[in-house]
Amino acid sequence: MSRCLTRPAALAASAALLTSALLAATAPVASAAPAKYSQAAAEKALKRAGVTWVSSGRCSNRKNSRCTSFEQINRSTVAGVIDFKKAGRCAVTITAGTEKGHASGTYSHWNGYKVDLKLTSCVNSYVTHRFTYVGQRKGDHAKQYKSPSGNVYAREGSHWDVTYYRGSR
């Protein structure tokens, strides 16, 4: 007899779980903005990893296109540069960060997703031999290589323009 009494309760509980699961599955997922670094925090993390940077204007002002800024750079971008340095065992020098003067868009320098890396034989060799060639970029025809994690390295004339969609190589 207790079996009959518990069965409706079990059905009600199952229905409640199913309803909450359906609601959860159809609810919009909030997309969080990427975590950002300040200039000082990014410099500290990069310096600790042995990554260097240069600035034609010898400055870090984000609003000056002659500077190399890390203000508001994504933490995943910094992690990507550090991972790349460790994996490639190359000297890595950043030549551009989040300063103005680059193309706009969601995955832009300004929004913290991109950095430019100095061309060196070690960096060039690592990218072209370890990553997958995915064709030329529209517009400037830069050769593009995709890392296993989906980051894109575009060989521009004087540097690698790197988009870090994810932190790791």
Give the contacts of 96 (CB within 8 A, at least 6 positions apart).
68, 102, 109, 114, 115, 116, 159
pLDDT band at 168 (very low <50, low <70, confident <90, very high): low
* Prediction pTM value: 0.78
Given a cut of 50, whether residue 18 has pLDDT beyond it is no
Q: For residue range 24-36, what is the model confidence (pLDDT) as tens digits?
A: 443 444 467 789 9
Alpha-carbon distances of 57 from 61, 109, 115, 117, rounded to whole Å: 10, 17, 17, 17
51-62 per-position pLDDT tens digit: 999 998 999 999
User: Is the pLDDT at 20 greater than 70, yes or no?
Assistant: no
Calculate ∠ Cα 146-103-33, nearest 5°.
70
- Residue 109: closest CA among 73, 152, 155, 82: 73
Position 118 scores a pLDDT of 97
Task: Give the model's confidence band at 9: pLDDT under 50 very low, under 70 low, under 90 confident, else very high.
Answer: low
The end-to-end CA distance of the chain, in Å, is 63
**Do residues 114 and 163 make contact, with C-beta atoms less than 8 angstroms apart?**
yes
Mean predicted confidence (pLDDT) in 144-168: 91
Mean of per-residue pLDDT scores for the chain: 85
Q: What was the pLDDT predicted at 7?
A: 54
Residue 119 CB burial class (10 angstroms; 0-12, 13-18, ≥19): middle
Q: What is residue 8's predicted lDDT score, i.e. its pLDDT?
A: 53
Strand pairing class (114-118; 132-136): unpaired
Q: What is the pLDDT of residues 81-135, one digit of tens each?
A: 999 999 999 999 999 999 998 888 889 999 999 999 999 999 999 999 999 999 9
**What backbone torsions phi and psi does residue 15 show, to the nearest 5 degrees?**
-65, -40
Spatial contact of 134 and 142, defined as CB atoms under 8 Å apart = no
Q: What pLDDT shows up at residue 34?
A: 84
> Is the pLDDT at 140 greater than 50, yes or no?
yes
